Amino acid sequence: MRQSRALWLLDRLERDPRADPVIDALRERVRALPLGRGRDLLHGRWLGHPVHPLMVQVPIGSWLSAAVLDLRPGRSREAGLLVGVGLAAAAPAAFTGAVDWAELHRQQQRVGLLHALTNTAAVALYTASLVCRVKGRGAAGRTFGFLGMTAVGLGGMLGGHLAYRQASGANHAEEVPHVVTEGWHRIGTVDEFPAGRPVRRSVDDVPVLVVREPGGTVHALAERCSHLAGPLSEGTVADGCVQCPWHGSTFRLSDGWNVRGPATAPQPAFDTRVVDAHVELRLRRHDRDGRAADDRETDRRPTGSGAGRTRGGGG
């Protein structure tokens, strides 16, 4: 089966650098906005996933409902009200999308720019529709409304491409609990982990970030950032946290909690221990009963003369 024309055009758009100067200028302006902690609010860190997909439901739903009413005689007033509601909700929805867009990969930003332009055209068409309705030009208002709905559909298709084909906004660490096998995994001797320095190891082909504190406590997190799979082992370790070198997401080493965005999901964390001068890891599960039983079994395991055990983050 041949590739669809639409997908072929989108693949070309992802590789086309001509809009990059515009993208750079817009990205820097969005990043320079003095949002403070409000930036994490707009990213959706409090929600656990991006806010933008939630916000766009109001304008899309309002405009779709207006289109349905426009198909029925005598409902122009109600349809006009819904067009106005959609326009009022479009600005905050666009703002949350812009904040997310500024922290994406370049290929995603190229598609995202067209997504924004298409939705801007939709807003312009619906604004014209509302003006016509207010002036009593109902037929023109309905025509502009249907054109706006077409633009919204195209924008939604581009948004779906961003979310599902390009995985913008997805949790890039979600698969870790499904890949790492149960039990303890030996990853090296204690001497291989210099105090305070991030080290990359692998467990079941899953990259793992390991940090040993000066006091001896060992922390371990999934190494690929949940935001866009940035390499945390190349990030900065400070104040009990690691900062992703790509977009600045910050995670607590003790439990992987995302203390600062744009990441909206925490990093999978590992329990750690030292046995016979070797560091061992075990994925931290949320099944308390199973974990307690496993802990009891582990506590009965002989560790040999001089062996100690250290758990990261109260594991």
Q: What is the mean pLDDT of residues 86-98?
A: 98
pLDDT for residue 156 is more than 90: yes
Q: What is the mean pLDDT of residues 207-218?
A: 95
Using alpha carbons, select from 261, 164, 172, 270 the residue that is nearest to residue 225.
172
pLDDT for residue 65 is more than 90: yes
Which amino acid is it at 4? S
Per-residue pLDDT tens over the stretch 301-312: 433 333 344 444
| Alpha carbons 207 and 230: distance in angstroms, whole number | 11
DSSP conformational letter for 97: H
DSSP conformational letter for 315: -
pTM: 0.85
Burial of residue 142 (CB within 10 Å: 0-12, 13-18, 19+) is buried
Per-residue pLDDT tens over the stretch 269-301: 999 999 999 999 999 987 544 444 444 344 434
DSSP conformational letter for 192: G
- What is the CA angle 101-104-110, rounded to 5? 75
Q: What is the mean pLDDT of residues 147-153?
A: 98
| Alpha carbons 307 and 301: distance in angstroms, whole number | 11
| Alpha carbons 143 and 52: distance in angstroms, whole number | 28
Helix (H) or strand (E) holding 278: strand 278-283
Specify the pairing of strand 250-252 against strand 218-222: unpaired
Specify the pairing of strand 278-283 against strand 218-222: unpaired
Q: Rounded to whole angstroms, what are the CA distances from 124 to 24, 54, 56, 70, 220?
A: 25, 22, 16, 18, 50
| Alpha carbons 110 and 154: distance in angstroms, whole number | 15
| Alpha carbons 237 and 235: distance in angstroms, whole number | 7
For a pLDDT cut of 70, what percent of the chain falls above it? 90
Number of C-beta neighbours around residue 174 at 10 A: 12
- What is the CA angle 39-98-158, rounded to 5? 140
Structure tokens at 56: 């766009």
Q: What share of the chain is helix, strand, coil (3-state, %, to 5)?
A: 50, 15, 35
pLDDT for residue 204 is more than 50: yes
Beta bridge partners of 212: 195, 218
Which amino acid is it at 80? G
